[in-house]
Structure 1
């Protein structure tokens, strides 16, 4: 049974889909349970998000034994018209740059 994540009120900048995609980009062999824990979502919610991402062509998976290995389709364009021309790879690059700049807790 899924553990209930901490409640959150208010709005956030990132969608749950973006969070899940970022975790998978960080570790393509992440288990649903681990993705859920990092994103503070239920496993059921992560399963649905992964299915959404796969159904829209942003993600594929292959079985590796009893686990999945995910592959992000980097050239896929983001869906919102305001993001016209931005690819998944471009979005993930922003996350990677942020992480690189904040590895010691301070922006460079």
Structure 2
């Protein structure tokens, strides 16, 4: 499946919305886009060392947040009081 389409389905937004978000991230220097070997598809990669722009988060790399978000979360029923 097309990566942007899959992202849109997972997030509950339109593919066009995901395209706009990806374009914004690329323009801001957070990701890069290259053509895949077949010349048709695109590959996206995080820019190593990219940091947040807001002064409150200045100096913190976005990769830390992404790692946190990618970790499997404990289910509410498995949580202990």
TM bucket, shorter chain: 0.7 to 0.9
Structure 1 segments (4+ residues) deviating >3 Å? none
Specify whether residues 107 and 86 from structure 1 end up closer, same or farther in structure 2 by C-alpha distance, changes over 3 A only: farther
TM-score, normalised by the number of residues in structure 2: 0.78
1:40 matched to 2:29? The reply is no
The CA RMSD measured in Å over matched residues stands at: 1.9
Structure 1 unaligned blocks of 5 or more: 1-29
Q: 1:82 aligns with which of 46, 56, 61?
A: 56
Q: Which has the larger radius of gyration?
A: 2
TM normalised by structure 1 equals 0.60
Larger RCO, structures 1/2 (Cα 8 Å, 6+ apart): 1
Q: How many residues align?
A: 75
Structure 2: give runs of 5+ residues left out of the alignment.
none
